[in-house]
Structure 1
Amino acid sequence: MFSPGGHTLTSGGYDATVRLWDTGPDEAMKNICSSIVTSLTPDDQERQYISDLSYQRPC
């Protein structure tokens, strides 16, 4: 459920925890980058994804 202002998402888990998520772009990027286990390499990008774009490190 989103807050009235739309900047916070509330979620609940099976373990009865309640979490508040800041949905702003800076916080979202920080959360995504902290959960990445391996980073996309230039070779991975060219071979598997988008070969016509220059490589940019994801985080």
Structure 2
Amino acid sequence: MLKRMLSGCVICMGLLLGGCAGSEEDLDPSRIEYQTLKASGDYGPIRTITDAETNAELD
């Protein structure tokens, strides 16, 4: 029983890591989108930073 549960956990972790591995290909380093979170729990508007100098400072 323990071996079956352990092997199931290993398989699930492998699938999660494998699914996350290819996600970096879609990133655009010249564009950063962010959204502020207010103290009340509400989200602010989505804003985009495209300025190369600001992106370099954040990097």
User: Normalised by the size of structure 1, how large is the TM-score?
Assistant: 0.30
Q: Which has the higher contact order (CA 8 A, sep 6+)?
A: 2
Compare the two structures and name the one with the higher helix fraction: 2
Task: State which structure, 1 or 2, has the greater radius of gyration over its C-alpha atoms.
Answer: 2
Compare the two structures and name the one with the higher strand fraction: 2
User: Normalised by the size of structure 2, how large is the TM-score?
Assistant: 0.30
